[in-house]
Amino acid sequence: MSKIICDTVHCILAQEVETIDETGVPVLKKEKEWIKIKSYEKPVYRSTIKTSDAGPTNEETVSVKIRHIDIIKPIIEYCGFHFLLKLTSDEHVFYVGTLEYPASIELSSNKIFDDITFRALSPA
């Protein structure tokens, strides 16, 4: 398992991505923008390879804690939809989720903080 503390997390609905270029960078549809998630604590990225009868899979998770008042309306409205993420860490930018294997979202709240977990599964 790898674990990386991220500086920033941006998300976008998978349906707002036109394509992914040859370098793996999502190309957004016209007039669409990444949504920045203002985190209360440093976001955490984890990647784990799991083996099953169907073959190995890569499970990537991104955990973000935000203050309840900072909840991002599009995330709540589209909680059942799929997302792609852009993460920044130590001057590096990398992406979680693809058009074929987008990230799903889980949201939990205690009225003070909201925990957002994005999870993407793909063949390893």
Give the span between the Cα atoms of 60 and 38, in whole angstroms: 20
- Residue 13, CB-side half-sphere exposure with 13 Å CA sphere: 14
What secondary structure does DSSP assign to 29-71, as a single string?
PTT--PEEE--SS--EEEEEEEEETTEEEEEEEEEEEEEGGG-
Mean pLDDT value of segment 85-101 = 89
Give the span between the Cα atoms of 5 and 13, in whole angstroms: 23
Q: Write out the residue range of the structural domain in which residue 82 sits.
A: 2-123
pLDDT of residue 3: 74
> pTM for the complete prediction?
0.85
CB–CB of 33/86 below 8 Å? no
| pLDDT, tens digit, 9 for 90 and up, residues 39-58 | 888 899 999 998 988 889 99
CB–CB of 80/39 below 8 Å? no
Q: How many domains does the chain have?
A: 1
Give the span between the Cα atoms of 6 and 35, in whole angstroms: 16
| Local confidence band at 104 (pLDDT 50, 70, 90 cut-offs) | very high
pLDDT of residue 69: 67
For the record, the structure tokens of 49 come out as 């390879």
